[in-house]
Amino acid sequence: MYRLECKCMLKKEDKFILGEGRKKILELVSETGSIKEAAKEMGMSYRHAWGIIKKIEEGAGKEIVVSKRGGEKGGGTRLSKFGEQLLEIYKEMKKEHRGDVYLNPALTVDGIIEKDGEILLIKRKKDPFKDKYALPGGFVEYKEKVESAVTREIEEETGLKTEVKELIGVYSERGRDPRGHTVSVVYSLGVKGGPISSGSDAKEAKYFPKYELPELAFDHKKIIKDYLLLSRD
């Protein structure tokens, strides 16, 4: 098991807004109600701390702190509503990227569409296997269901709207993808509508007789062979 140690930075349009040091200053201003006290805790001058806060405001384009002068209860400084939100955003983003890192395979999907004894294939536009034919498919996005991923990828690559019919299998053998270890969930699908049109990572999309297929990328020859065996049952 490995632990990933990252230097976290919050940016807006390539402008640096928050890092660990700036985050600490804002936390101390919120806790103490004073830039002066926050600077003292950080071991820096008031002028330096105030300069850092102004840089945060310039980068974010909004007021980060609100100061109150005098009065019966005395003056003080607090974070603005936006300042509190910005601090919370940074903490949540850091939380998502912190912790132990496990070397996991990437999750992908592939779809088999058969029509009148022919199977739909796409010609790959990019490496790996540029200009080779393959089943339409791709990577599953974060928080996306695999069933949604396969219909999305097929529509992006072929223009067709589809629906999942049956799970064909899960393919996870090492070396099946030269980019790294991938696990593919493969479905058969039916077409609901839309003309065929290539797009995304596909140069073209067309049907081929299922027993006269061109040279295929990845392990798609094996996948289609398994599908044909299942479809005979």
Catalytic amino acids? 204
The three-state DSSP-derived secondary structure of the chain is CEECCCCCCEEECCEEEECHHHHHHHHHHHHHCCHHHHHHHHCCCHHHHHHHHHHHHHHHCCCCEEEECCCCCCCEEEECHHHHHHHHHHHHHHHHCCCEECCCCEEEEEEECEECCEEEEEEECCCCCCCCEECCEEECCCCCCHHHHHHHHHHHHHCCEEEEEEEEEEECCCCCCCCCCEEEEEEEEEEEECCCCCCCCEEEEEEEECCCCCCECCCHHHHHHHHHHHHCC
